[in-house]
Amino acid sequence: MNIELHYQVEQFLYRHAELCDSQDWDGYLANYAPDCEYHVPQWDAEHVYTTDPKREMSLIYYASRAGLEDRVFRIRTGKSAACNPMPRTLHQLTNIRVERGADGLVEARVNWATFYTRFGETGYFYGRAAYTLARNGDDWLIRRQHVLLLNDTVNAVLDFYHL
């Protein structure tokens, strides 16, 4: 394993989480390639989740960055009652694993937990995520983000900033 590559990817993912927690939406969106895919599958059974977002149900699916941009637009303009007020979030990433693909892309897998507070209530979401990253100068762009939510129940609004 290339330690420098691992460090670069790890730092990118930490910055990405920090941009979300600080609600720096322009910086956050800039981490995504225009043709990226963002997918949060739904569970079909206890240990089986959906795999084809175009034919099966998903909790969240965006075929490109435009879906995320639309969510940010709704947050900024107050057109999303689910985001008013915005929760305070804290993302934690652990067990980051990085592999270089033969195609020049990098695959990063992480375990994550996000704590949030809204209306005086505190909760959390947790799971695993896989990122496909492409070089973008000295940094990275997210080409694909696949987030597996492990919570049994979702007792609050679920949106991209929780994951």
Question: What domains, with CATH codes, occur in the chain?
Answer: 3-162 (3.10.450.50)
Helix (DSSP H) and strand (DSSP E) numbers for the chain: 3, 8
Number of neighbours of residue 155 by Cβ within 10 angstroms = 8
Where the chain has pLDDT below 50, the residues are none
- Predicted confidence at residue 1, as pLDDT, reads 63
**Rounded-to-integer distance, Cα 157 and Cα 148, Å:** 16
Run of H or E residues at 59: strand 58-62
**Rounded-to-integer distance, Cα 124 and Cα 112, Å:** 10
Confidence (pTM) = 0.94
- Predicted confidence at residue 153, as pLDDT, reads 84
- Predicted confidence at residue 81, as pLDDT, reads 78
- Predicted confidence at residue 95, as pLDDT, reads 98
